Every structure is written in C-alpha cells, then in structure tokens.
Structure 1
C-alpha cells in the first residue's frame, strides 16, 4: 500500500484481527459455491460494493449474484493473501484475486486479474466488510473448447467500448444479458488513486 498508518497495538495483539480479516477475504469462495447465506455474513448490513456489473448495497449484490448463477456465465476466484493496514477498529485491505469465467453457451472464457480494495471495520466485536471496490489489472479471453468455439468477436468495437484490462470479462457479462455501463478502475488509473486516497482518509479518521 502506498501509505503507512501507525497502529498503537502491539503486532502480537493483531494476530487474531489479521486472521479474521483474512478469513473475510478468502470467504469469497462462498460466492463460487453459491452459499449465499454464508456470503452475506462477510458484510455489515449497510455495506456497499462496486464491481463491473453492480454498484450498490452488498446484500442486493448477493441477490443479483444468485440470479446470475442461473444463467450461462460461471465464475471462480483464486484469492491471494491480503495486505492490511490497521487503525483502531478499522482496516484498509488490498487483496489480489484471479477471476476465471466460462460462458457455457458461447464456449469461450476469460481470465482476469483483479484487486479488491476493502474498508473493513469491527463492530460489536466482529470484523466485516464495510465497502468493497474492484480494480481490474489485466485480462484476456480463453477458449475452454478451443479457438474454433469462439464467436466472431469484433475486437475493434470491443476495444472502443471497454479498456483492454477487463474487455473480455465485460463481453462475457454482456453476452449473459447483463449491461456493463460506465468505466471501472484499472491499474494506476485516476479511479484507483481516488479509491486509495479516500480509503486511507477513512482509515485516518479512526479513533483507535
């Protein structure tokens, strides 16, 4: 992370906190497993989330994910170890993830490297996610059943509509009947810098 935030607690006292937050990050597996009730426990009731196809309340995202799971797009996430900055009962967390997508009707997939930037807070003794943003670092198409199964993609038109970092994933989402509108944070973009700046400002406001 680009900024350091002093924390008054000894490092040993943060071990349990780090483990709890790491469990939140790896808990994204519940989305892949379609365990929606357990996925909901990762978030505070008023949590918000912004990814390519959704922006709003985290619990509405879960309902949207449930509906998406009934369509042709399948996804799986590989989650890395998080980097955590603490201040009292708040933490700003950055986590690498690899998203694998497979559109079962088109016979085409995508691999996208993503980072989750999370504001995490402890309320009533429990750490949960308060806000999640996704930053798209790089990605491209894959062909699970060979290039011959790929549709005729108009690369120029796709490039005009979406940055190359997430154009492949946007194509699969749109091919599943879900609109992808606006632009989303990519590595080293102004949007990413704003999320980082606002996240560190929020962390600095902690009374801990």
Structure 2
C-alpha cells in the first residue's frame, strides 16, 4: 500500500513528465495517461491519443513550443486526485518570426488504477500572456487577435496563424468556465 508521499511523488512525476511532449518522446508521453484519458487545451479537445498525433504534426511545423512546469498542488481522495499546476507555455513560429509566453494552470484529474497513478483528464486555465519578437516588431492582425480572450490571445493567434485553429473559448482566471471546471472536479473527487 502506498503512503501519501509515495502517491504524491507519483502524481508529481506525471506532471513533470510533460517534458516528453516538448522533446517529442511520444511513447513516454502516452504513458502519462490512462487509455481513456482526455485533454482539453486551446488547439485540441478529445482522446489523449489524438493529442499525441496532433503534437507530432505540430512538431513537424514551423511552430515550436515549450512548457515550464511548476510544482503541483495535489488533493487526494482515495484513488482520485485533483492536481493544479502553474505553467508557462512558450511558443514561436520561426516563419512568422513571432513568439509568445502564456501563463496557465494545468487542471488535471488523476486516478490510481491497479496501484498506478495516471492522468484521466487535463484542462487548462489561462491567466495572462504576451507576444515576444525574436528579431524585432512584426505586424499583428488585430482582427484575429480580438477574437480571443486577452489571457491567451497571443497563443491563440500564433496557433491559428500556424494552422492549429481554436474551436471554442477556454477558461481564464476567474471566469465562469474556471468555476465550472472546479465544481465538476470537486464533485468527481468526492464521488
């Protein structure tokens, strides 16, 4: 039987394992999720296996991304856990000579099955962001930018211009969507 500290370490390893995505280590990335795991982020919603395929396509494009992951805050109830982690998404499109940094929080549901913790659902709540200009200012289409909440507009803009458009609005700090994510997660944790 695992102790709380062993459970917490295993969960933390799942969260910091996101480096496998940035390094294109797809098998290791797949190992972070249960087979029925899902993800909802700016450019992809659905089964985790589809996210890996999309990430492969993104890796072959002009868009580069990196995630700086903070220390997770973990709530455990039996074989279920809610994990909230500060992160910074750094992205750039080398063809556009444009980048961005967006601060977000990954909001994960993790579950222990057969003694092993894995992620069941990953969502993201976006806090703030801005553009970066590797070689100096470039023109930004204000009409495209205005379609998105300011908290993640730079990332959404870069994704859209790189061929990875967004299909809906996502949670931002203090939004109704964030409240709904939290309420649903607490109900799931208590079940």
Relative to the length of structure 2, the TM-score reads 0.97
CA distance in 1, matches of 2:18, 2:160: 23
Q: Is 1:184 matched up with 2:174?
A: no
Q: Which has the larger radius of gyration?
A: 1
Instruction: Work out which of the residue numbers 73, 81, 102 in structure 2 matches 1:83.
Output: 73
Give the unaligned 5+ runs of structure 1.
1-8
Corresponding residue for residue 4 of structure 1: none
1:138 aligns with: 128
Q: CA RMSD in A?
A: 1.3
Residue 18 (structure 1) aligns with: 8
Distance, in Å, in 1 between the alignment partners of 2:146 and 2:20 is 34
Q: What is the CA–CA distance in structure 2 between the aligned matches of 1:78 and 1:159, rounded to whole Å? A: 24
Separation in structure 2 between the aligned mates of residue 159 and residue 55 of structure 1, nearest angstrom:
21
The CA distance in 1 between the partners of 2:102 and 2:164, in whole Å, is 18
Greater than 4 Å deviation, 4+ residue runs: none
Tell me how far apart the structure 1 counterparts of residues 48 and 163 of structure 2 sit (CA, whole Å): 21
**Which residue, 153, 157, 178 being the options, matches 2:140?**
153
For each residue in 1:15-50, what CA deviation from the matched residue of structure 2 results, as whole angstroms up to 9, or x when unmatched? 001100000000000000000010000000000100
Query: 1:121-179 CA distances to partner (integer Å, 9 max, x unpaired)?
Result: 000111000001011100010011222xx2x2133x23430011111111111111122
On the 8 A contact 2:145/2:157 being kept in 1, the answer is no
Give the counterpart of 2:184 among 177, 198, 205: 198
Q: What is the aligned counterpart of 1:45 among 32, 35, 40?
A: 35
Matched residues in 2 for 1:170 and 1:91: separation? Answer: 29
Shift of 1:13: 2.4
Matches for 1:157-176 after TM superposition, within 5 Å: 157-176=143-162
Instruction: State the alpha-carbon separation in 1 of the partners of residues 66 and 145 from structure 2.
Output: 25
Instruction: Please give the TM-score of this superposition, normalised by the length of structure 1.
Output: 0.89
Superposition pairs of residues 47-62 of structure 1, within 5 angstroms? 47-62=37-52
The residue aligned with 1:101 is 91
Q: How many residues align?
A: 191
Q: Map Cα deviations across residues 68-107 of structure 1 (whole Å, 9 max, x no partner).
A: 1100000011100000001001101100000100111011
1: CA distance between counterparts of 2:158 and 2:83? 28
SS at match of 1:193: helix
